Structure 1
């Protein structure tokens, strides 16, 4: 019978009594050349640290958020040049808090804001709209025929006559509720953005663009007073700016990363304090934190070296790498401390711990890496980049936590007080005294009665969690931006715009594609009109617009405004004339070849249910009416793109978990060489995933690009716990020890650290719940749950499952 503590790894008090040429090739290579190994680690750290500091960029991109392989997105990208007003855009509403828009001072401020936005980098100037834009026009029918012109009067001078003319032009143009607020106290600037800055040829820097918007707000709303601006309060200036759009949302998230980093730092400090309290050894606690942070530096440096960038949705990956690193490094520290406490020389203790735990550690990290890598199968570039960053981070942990940590401890060792305390706790476990009583309590779960109760409770939780998780929704569940707090300035701005404008910024567009000049075909216009009518029947659609609306209006105008002629005429000459007029007033309604026209629906919100139902109506219509020469293609507009993203997320959600568990299962099978042991490791993780989805339902969190990877990443943390605990338990059982004793040995050697790491990491991330960034707060709560539940699953469910699957079985 082999005793892990004494038989297999005998106490070696003097280094001369140890055969330094023993062990496998990797052990000899690393430990017999420790100084060279540490020098190489230091050199690599300097190089990668330099790259992380000088080359790493925060570079979010609109196109990285959308699934390029989805049919909706392929249709949009194929026809993007003809839909330049229906892609990525920002809406800026300028409010007069003390009057209406017909105040000369307000109009002058609006002109200055419009000019500055027009000249901003990355703006698609030809399609920008505001009251000062020449493309925003009015049209009316008179006795002489049509009259029209820009809404802003020519030669506007701020005098009462010009103001009266502006008021009349706004009424003629029919833009109240779209570009002018329902209460006439504000007006909107629609600012479409290019994919690349025409001046530099590079992608738009959303952080700089958001700061340019903030500069406008600081200048005009806050009159240069940064104090209320920094506090997120409304300004006291003559105008008030409300800004929404992807660029502003991402900019706000990037600006919030400073606070995210503060919470990250707090989690690191919390982890250090708890580990120090447990070990009473400053040097080893610093090494655990240092090696884990070293992995983060390497990861960021490699990400920069490979040409990748960070974005607000992958910024939490470095903390996950830190958390996994803490888990592995603490296991190494604990093993070395125990051996030193029994009298073994520190270098021999480091090599003994390396031999015992390297296979379990490298298997866990490879499982994590492959599990994260399967996220690349999801056709959303930002998730694929996250998968690459996470896989790189896990790979470098092999060097920093599995190799560097024991090598460093072979030099510095642990304090005598810490070693004696570790030995005393070990004896308490053996005698079931002091803290040993708690670990002895866990041993009861290897008995049939306790195991049955534990598994029955787990089954009830699993069934209940599964029932609740059926209500898990895809996409956004609330209006505004769920990544930010409800009281954030962005969401307050969104609420203002929604309540003061009849038409929202959530546009769902169906593209009608024909042969050149085919969009004016009578049958095509009739079908486009019917599609608009079908969409309007949904409660979530505020209104629809298309070339049909313009043709109707202009046709009626040619007949002296007679409402009887506000219809689609079969005469092609009438249709051609109407289109020629529409090309001046509403050029965004069809392209120059008249081969593509969008049918645009204005949605009341972008909640998942609204998007799914509207997309369903459009898809049914497209299937029934598309022909080879007339196709109805989904989808463009902000809501159309989000609908496509939701479809991909829905399909990937459980498929992703299947791939992650398959990868982890294969590695567990290779490591344990037992399908029963693999089930014992995986079943607690499955329960964690089910309960995590149920928790998302309770918290009102939808599955979207930002939250999709979290559950899969949580599996990576849990499998570490299971592999360390089971690898020791199986080793003892295969050596002939009964399950109860084997589990006691596993708890004494690795189980205590599993509990320590679970509590340590949970205590660190729970502070995120108070983050001003709701996305981070939600992730903090979910990660806290996964850290704790994975820990409990490992300590309670593994012995309970082992009783039925591994007790008395030949392993």
Structure 2
């Protein structure tokens, strides 16, 4: 056996093959056990940028405000209105049931049955009020009429009661912890809502609708678990295609097995680190499997070539490792470090995705790059595979001879011009790319999903939407209802209600105006804020909880928005900041953003907007530096990176055309696409450089490169595309969007490597690669 040109690493690996296989089996069993204990991670805090100013302000007042995390249970009367004993009893039972749920802020639940929701009227004897449904309620026609009058006098029409009186809402704020101080489990909570609320109480008379962050996340998890089926389908399709290509069931099985083992290792290591899988990182195992198969294709392709040459499986395995370990290691390290650039985005779900993907790629270095050659050294290639490779090597390669013309000067010039025009068109289209959500409802889910249909019902039948922006008005202690602070809040509310996309605003000022109107025989001409402090003090004695804190140093203004689309949030936040810049006075009142679900989304959008360009610079910078270290040529770096950049530009244009915004679910796509797509260029350029060092001219060198690795690169692109392409059929819209975008990037990166890389090489490296010896 020849050991000429072998490295110390190669010698070490193939001398201890049995030990490596035993260690491999033990580690796989250990990580499989750990992977079986993996948990779904759904903490609210992971979904938001905790270091953003808005979220810091929110957390500062977390004991005094809702964290923007609540649900609304809509109880709808299928026949008639809500003023029937049958409906009100169902509403009472649901209110009682939700009270005992873990993670519910029981003191702040609001329903027609809770004592904190009251009615009030002005009589000749003064104010009179009470609970909307009185303790003496017995279902009689007389008391039903009284309930109806109480609802009309309560100011809850459009808020807890639908405008058409056909449904009522139970408002349920959530805590960030459930029983025994554990983090609220959104999957479990959502399942409880389905089993103990919707399934239990929905009937031929009553329909149940549920909206809110916890329910959205629960539905995401429910749909995302179907990804496991897509994973099995992807394995099956990949196995068949790889078998058809390699003609060897042994090597095909080894590649599939090692790629699945890498996924097991990745999940097992995550569990050891105390991390789980969330709806966003649930897609990473697909990527790891696809990357593993893509590198495995290169390995078994090279192994078949070497088996044809030496006809000795151990020597063929060593030659395969020797030929590919440097470009494969470079590609995998580029993948891992490229993924880690996502860590710069200070949103935990994205950072966890970065860690998960990087761990999976590092696992591939051992499971695929190391173990596939070792296993092949025992299994060998089948005679059918060797014969097929013999035919390939002696075939005329008509297709590759035509593709090789991409390296000729005339075709290269045309190719570069086409690429430049494509880049220009892509940049022009992508200037309209937006940050954040572009659709109403929950854009992570399909428009016809149960959650989005429920959300649409709320928006259509209530005067206030589920999209709430809360501005925190901070004042000195015991000063939130002082005349000067109230006057500022009044002007602020008027300012915001004239912003496009804002439905209405609510604060302690609203209560004060209503009570003052009551003091004046209910005449709405008096619905104005007074400057007389004694009158203000009397008017705010019965302010509902949540509109002022206990020491009157905080008075939130609740702003109801039409939706949470990016442009609506941008306008609203800009309007708040404009007012705050002109009116903030620490001695009177300071207007601070933000709470509410819309405030959280606005903070997320700003974080993504500021981070996306830095992430692109880092991922391209890291990949460029690694390629520069490996090939020691800036020209080589340009040949490899430019096709990737073109794909990124075209991907952003595609997002614009498809109406997909840049958000938590789609931001990682660029980093993932670049990190994986660089593999094509590395494999092709390393082969091309090698043939040119042997003295071949560019066109002939590229032809020989295609003969050796062209089919493997194409197969790799198809494998990656199939792996993520199955996501397109997911029940979760953001997974389907990621599937479309990643499939596009993987295929276009493959096209770029085969088409544009040789064209660039024609201008940059022709005649500049020194010959060996």
What band does the TM-score fall into relative to the shorter chain? over 0.9
CA offset digits 1:530-576 (Å, max 9, x no partner): 11111111221111111111111122323443445432222222222
Report the Cα offset of residue 218 of structure 1.
Answer: 4.8
SS in 1 for 2:542: helix
Instruction: Could you tell me which runs of 5 or more consecutive residues in structure 2 were left unpaired when the two chains were aligned.
Output: none
Determine if the alignment matches structure 1 residue 480 to structure 2 residue 441.
yes
Q: Distance in 1 between matches of 2:148 and 2:200?
A: 24
1:389 corresponding residue in structure 2:
356
Match status 1:402 vs 2:369: yes
- Greater displacement, 626-635 / 386-395: 626-635
Secondary structure, counterpart of 1:669 in structure 2: helix
Q: What's the offset of the Cα at 1:25?
A: 2.3
Q: TM-score, normalised by structure 2?
A: 0.98
Q: CA contact under 8 A between 2:120 and 2:153: conserved in structure 1?
A: yes
Q: Which deviates further from its counterpart, 56-65 or 563-572?
A: 563-572
Aligned position for 2:224: 257
8 Å Cα contact 1:342-1:423 kept in structure 2: no
1:256 is paired with a residue of what secondary structure? helix
* Structure 2 counterpart of 1:42, from 10, 25, 39: 25
Structure 2 Cα separation of the partners of residues 147 and 379 of structure 1:
51
Among 634, 638, 647, the alignment partner of 1:675 is: 634
Q: State the match for 1:713 in structure 2.
A: 672
Counterpart Cα distance in 2 of 1:533 and 1:258: 46
Q: Where in structure 2 are the equivalents of 1:192-231 lying within 5 Å?
A: 192-197=173-178, 199-220=179-200
223, 229, 234: which one aligns with 1:267: 234
Q: Any unmatched runs of 5+ in structure 1?
A: 1-16, 224-236
- Looking at structure 2, the residues matched to 581 and 765 of structure 1 have their Cα atoms a distance apart, in angstroms, of 57
Equivalent residue number for residue 18 of structure 1: 2
CA distance in 1: counterparts of 2:633 and 2:623, whole angstroms: 14
1:550 alignment counterpart: 511
1:72-91 correspondence runs (5 A): 72-84=54-66, 87-91=68-72
Does 1:751 pair with 2:710?
A: yes
Matches within 5 A, 1:176-195: 176-195=157-176
1:372 match: 339
The reply on whether 1:427 has 2:394 as its aligned counterpart is yes
Answer whether contact 2:341 2:671 (CA < 8 A) is retained.
no
Q: How far is 1:399 from its partner? A: 0.2
Greater Cα offset, 651-660 or 730-739: 730-739
What corresponds to 2:414 in structure 1?
453
Shift of residue 222, structure 1, vs aligned partner: 5.2
CA displacement at 1:635 relative to structure 2: 0.9
Answer yes or no: is the 8 Å Cα contact 2:35–2:268 preserved in 1. Answer: yes
Please point out which of 413, 416, 436 is paired with 2:383.
Answer: 416
Match of 1:175 in 2: 156
Q: 2:683 aligned with 1:724, yes or no?
A: yes
Matched with 2:529 is: 568
The 5 A counterparts of 1:608-619 are 608-619=566-577
Number of equivalenced pairs: 769
Residue matched to 1:771: 730
Which position in structure 2 is the counterpart of 1:518? 479
Equivalent of 1:140 in 115, 121, 138: 121
Does the CA-based 8 Å contact 1:22-1:28 persist in structure 2?
A: no
Which residue does 1:32 correspond to in 2?
15
Counterpart of 2:747 (choices 770, 788, 795) is 788
Q: Could you tell me which of 503, 528, 531 is aligned with 2:492?
A: 531
2:597 counterpart of 1:597: no
Alpha-carbon displacement from aligned partner over 1:194-240 (angstroms, at most 9, x marks no partner): 0111x2211111111111111135534555xxxxxxxxxxxxx3211
1:503–1:542 Cα contact (<8 Å) kept: yes
d(CA) in 2 for partners of 1:735, 1:517: 84
After TM superposition, the score normalised by the length of structure 1 is 0.93
In the alignment, the residues of structure 2 paired with residue 295 and residue 105 of structure 1 have an alpha-carbon distance, to the nearest angstrom, of 57
After superposition, the C-alpha distances for 1:437-490 in whole angstroms (9 at most, x for unaligned) are: 111111101101111111111111111111111111111111111111111111
User: Matches of 2:415 and 2:382 in 1, distance apart?
Assistant: 39
Q: Secondary structure at the match of 2:75?
A: strand
In structure 2, the residue matched to 1:226 is none
Question: In 1, distance between residues paired with 2:186 and 2:514?
Answer: 39
Query: 1:275·1:285 contact (CA, 8 Å) conserved in 2?
Result: yes
The one of 128, 131, 145 aligned to 2:112: 131
Counterparts of 1:99-118 in structure 2 under 5 Å?
99-118=80-99
* Aligned alpha-carbon RMSD (Å): 1.4
Shift of 1:111: 0.9
1:797 matched to which residue of 2?
756
Contact 1:220 1:238 in 2 (8 A): no
Deviations along 1:281-321, one digit per CA (max 9) or x if unpaired, are: 11111111111111100000000000111110111111111
Which residue, out of 558, 561, 564, partners 1:606? 564
Higher alpha-carbon deviation: 26-35 or 213-222? 213-222
Once the two structures are superposed, residues 310-354 of structure 1 have per-residue CA deviations (whole angstroms, 9 ceiling, x without a partner) of 110111111111111111111111111111122331111111111
> Secondary structure in 2 aligned to 1:394?
helix
User: C-alpha distance in 2, partners of 1:605/1:449?
Assistant: 54
Q: Tell me how far 1:627 sits from its aligned partner.
A: 2.2
SS of the residue 1:486 aligns to: coil
Give the match for residue 120 of structure 1.
Answer: 101
Q: Distance in 1 between matches of 2:91 and 2:436?
A: 35
Cα drift, residue 102 of structure 1: 1.0
1: CA distance, partners of 2:531 / 2:730: 61
CA distance, structure 2, for counterparts of residue 498 and residue 566 of structure 1: 27
Stretch moving more, 775-784 or 158-167:
775-784
Give the SS at the match of 1:737: coil
**Following the alignment from structure 2 to structure 1, what is the Cα–Cα distance between the partners of residues 407 and 542?**
82
My pick for the range that moved more, 489-498 or 665-674, is: 489-498
